[in-house]
Each structure stands twice: as structure tokens, then as C-alpha cells.
Amino acid sequence: MATKTVITCALTGGFDNADKNPALPVSPEQIARSALDAAAAGAAIVHIHVRDPKTTKPSMALELYQETVERIRAVNRHLILNLTTGAGGRFVPGADDPQKPAAGTTLTTPAIRMRHVEKLRPDICTLDCGSMNFGPHVFINTPSHLADMAARAKAVGTKPEIEVFEMGHIELGKKLVADGLIPSPPLFQLCLGISFGAPATPETMLAMRNNLPPGALWSAFGIGRAQFPFVAQTVLYGGHVRVGLEDNLYLSRGTLAPSNAALVEKAVEIIRLIGGDIASAAEARTIFKLGAAA
């Protein structure tokens, strides 16, 4: 096990699922409050998507990111912020002409996908290292786009969290590190249980962990019912953990989670029950080789 475990809380996500749990935060005020409550419960990092407050659907609006980040920083400047760059990678081929995008496509340029990172300069931003079938659509992250995004993150001092959904994504992450686009030690997030990605099994996690480059930092999560078993599994394998309403809407079988904080509290309990301890935000900055809080 790691000396201390860093907990990331993924607050709301990028799926059209706000109707499935009323606790899912939507507005910048709700997302910021949820982040602060998660931090009080033990999360050192919050992973942030934003949503249109009027429709509850995922959004890429810069002003929503700015308001959310400013609300958090006004209260807690030590909390580590991790902004998604996954938005803008979705492609749905047209039924009659698959070269033309159908409704639901968000595919856009690296510059647009990174504009909130360049403006707000979070400690961490995600970098989804590969393309894949993702539910009913295709999630597109080409090597050239990823190289551009990694270079933009490096220029503003933001550490990429290399999100990997299958083994080949790790190889692409290694290439970006070898090319000097991602500084060492790299930070990987193993994403398990996503439709058509790596399954949420201990064997898969172990294989992916063993394929990381030497000295890599890593965290992992399983979605849905795998969330809490994989908190324990990840800690036992020496990694850090992620929980939150982005990945799982339930506190236990049949019981909706009342908040992100409740999910963090349960993760803290599990980690301590198996003999682990929780890293503060300040300790997480040292563990993940981040700079001091702004």
C-alpha cells in the first residue's frame, strides 16, 4: 500500500444523467459547494466537469468553468483542482453519410478543448490517451491532438493526468512522456468498467498497473457497483483512488448517494479499515509532485 492514499472526487461528469440522482451538482454554485464538502470529507483533489444550469446537460462553456473555479478558490485555495479536457472528443457518425457528424457530436479542436485550462491554470487536467467506442458514440483523441493538448498544459504549468481506458492507451501515454510532452513522473488514471473499455476486474487492474512506466504515479477507479470494491483493490495494489457521482450514483445497493461527500466518507472508511491513511491536499501536492497552492 502507498504510505498515504490520495482521494480524488469526480463531482458531476459529462453524461446526460442529471435526472438519475437529484444530488448530482449542476450549477457552478452547486458544483463548487459539492467540491468543498468533498474536501471536508477527505478528498484532496476534485475532478471537474461543468453543466448548463438551465438544461443540466454537459457544457464546455468557459464562463461556467471560471465561475466554478473562482467559487472554490475563494474558500479553499489548498484543494487541488483537476479540470477535464474530455469534452469535445465525441463523434457520432451520420446514418446516411458516416463522414458527416450526427446530433450529439462535440468533436472540436485542441485549442477549444484546452481553453479553460489555459485560462484558469488548474493543478491538473485530464488527458484521455486514446480513442475508443464509448457507449453509443466514438471518443476521438488522436496522437497529434493529444500532443498539442499536452504541450498546452505544459506551457501553463498544469500536470496532465493520463486517463487510460485500455492497455494501448498506456502505450500512447508512454510515447508522450518519452517525447518530453509530459514531465516525469507521469500521473496515470486507470479507468475501469467503462462500456467497451477495460473491464473492472482485479486481473485487468494488475495488468495495467504492471504496464505503467517505472516511477509512474497512478490512481484508479471502477464505475457503478465496482466503485467501492475497487477503492480497496487499488489501495492494496499501491495506487490512489477516485470516487464520486461522475462514476457511481449509489452509496449502496438500491440507495442513491446523497452527496459526493458521502461517497468520499465511505472511501475514507474503507481505506482506514484495511490499514491505510488519507493524504491531505498539502500531502497530495508532495506525493503527486505538484507546486504549492497559488
- Which tens digits make up the pLDDT trace of 99-150? 999 999 999 999 999 999 999 999 999 999 999 998 788 999 999 999 999 9
Spatial separation of the C-alpha atoms in residues 84 and 13, rounded to whole Å? 9
Please report, for residues 48, 85, 219, 234, the alpha-carbon distance to residue 191 in angstroms, rounded to integers and kept in the order given. 16, 15, 9, 12
pLDDT recorded at residue 241: 98
Q: Provide the percentage of residues in the chain whose pLDDT is more than 70.
A: 99
- Which tens digits make up the pLDDT trace of 242-267? 999 999 999 999 999 999 999 999 99
What the block records as the C-alpha cell of 231 is 477503492
Residue 292 has pLDDT above 80, yes or no: no
pLDDT recorded at residue 293: 73
Q: Residue range 186-190: average pLDDT?
A: 98
Domain map (residue ranges) of the chain: 7-287
Report how far apart the first and last C-alpha atoms of the chain are (Å, whole number).
Answer: 30
**One-letter amino acid of 83:** L
Q: Residue range 5-19: average pLDDT?
A: 95
pLDDT band at 2 (very low <50, low <70, confident <90, very high): low
Alpha carbon of residue 46 to chain centroid: 8
Residue 24 has pLDDT above 80, yes or no: yes
pLDDT recorded at residue 16: 87
Q: Provide the percentage of residues in the chain whose pLDDT is more than 90.
A: 95
pLDDT recorded at residue 135: 77
Spatial separation of the C-alpha atoms in residues 203 and 62, rounded to whole Å? 40
In whole numbers, what is the pLDDT of the chain averaged over residues?
96
Name residue 256's beta-bridge partners.
Answer: 250
What the block records as the C-alpha cell of 117 is 485550462
Please compute Rg for the chain using Cα positions: 18
pLDDT recorded at residue 56: 96
The answer to whether the bond into 101 is cis (omega within 30° of 0) is: no
Query: Which helix H or strand E contains 80, and what residues bound it?
Result: strand 80-83
- CATH top-level class of 7-287: alpha beta
pLDDT recorded at residue 12: 97
